[in-house]
Amino acid sequence: MTRVTDLITIDRSSPIPLYFQVASRLEELIESGELAPGSRLDNEIQLADELGLSRPTMRQAIAHLVDRGMLTRKRGVGTQVVHDRVRRRLELTSLYEDLASAHQQPRTELLTLERRTADEQVAAALRIEPGAEVTYLERLRFAAGEPLALMHNHLPVAVADLTRTQLVAGGLYAALRDAGIRLRVADQTIGARRASSAEARLLDEPRGAPLLAMTRVAYNAGGIPVEYGCHLYRASRYTFELTLMAP
């Protein structure tokens, strides 16, 4: 069986730092698929000994790829190659359906499904009175067995009678289509922030890890808001893609 270190060559006469040589070669192996998603690396001490490097040098190489989102360290598991990033075009589509079409094996954990009163922010987004009743749902979306997104959604109670079975078996937009609701346009904002302790725990990230934050208000064909969503995505596993046209 070929060891990872058999595929790495170190040039000690090169001006390129040793840690960067190792990190660059590991990156090539990951991008080529020779190190498949989920592959485990030997511990840093063993890798350093096999390559004839100091342990701090090996630790720096691994840390470089962890920071780039290509490797992950998990207690009790070790260092692993992360799964491919989910790349999603900016279109009015369901995350569940996008993941399914990309063969990313989506799975949903429904954390909350209940009725609440709308605060001022939710009421303004849905164009209803503050204090009006809304359907609130919180879901944790998985891709290829790993948590990817934490999603919070508010809908006017009159929009649809959503069930746990629908929301676990498929996406929200599929449930809305089943109820005869067709979304036509949405206003969307994308930003970033750090994960709270609770968010980090659910998303399997360290506290304070960067997250992509997306808010969306989706409208039906009549221009009436039917959904207000606030979603958080793991920046290490998720990117938005845009096509820009010259004016």
pLDDT for 90: 56
Alpha helices in the chain (DSSP H): 18-32, 44-51, 55-67, 95-101, 120-126, 164-169, 172-178, 197-203
Name the nearest CA neighbour of 212 among 184, 193, 237, 186.
193
pTM above 0.75, yes or no: no
pLDDT for 193: 92
pLDDT along the chain (247 residues), means of 10: 82 90 88 81 89 91 83 79 61 74 85 96 94 96 90 93 90 89 89 94 92 92 92 83 65
Q: Is 140 exposed, middle or buried (0-12, 13-18, 19+ CB in 10 A)?
A: middle
pLDDT for 99: 78
Domains of the chain: 4-81 (1.10.10.10), 86-241 (3.40.1410.10)
pLDDT for 5: 85
**Contact of 118 with 131, CB cutoff 8 Å:** yes
Which residue's entry shows tokens 């962890």?
66
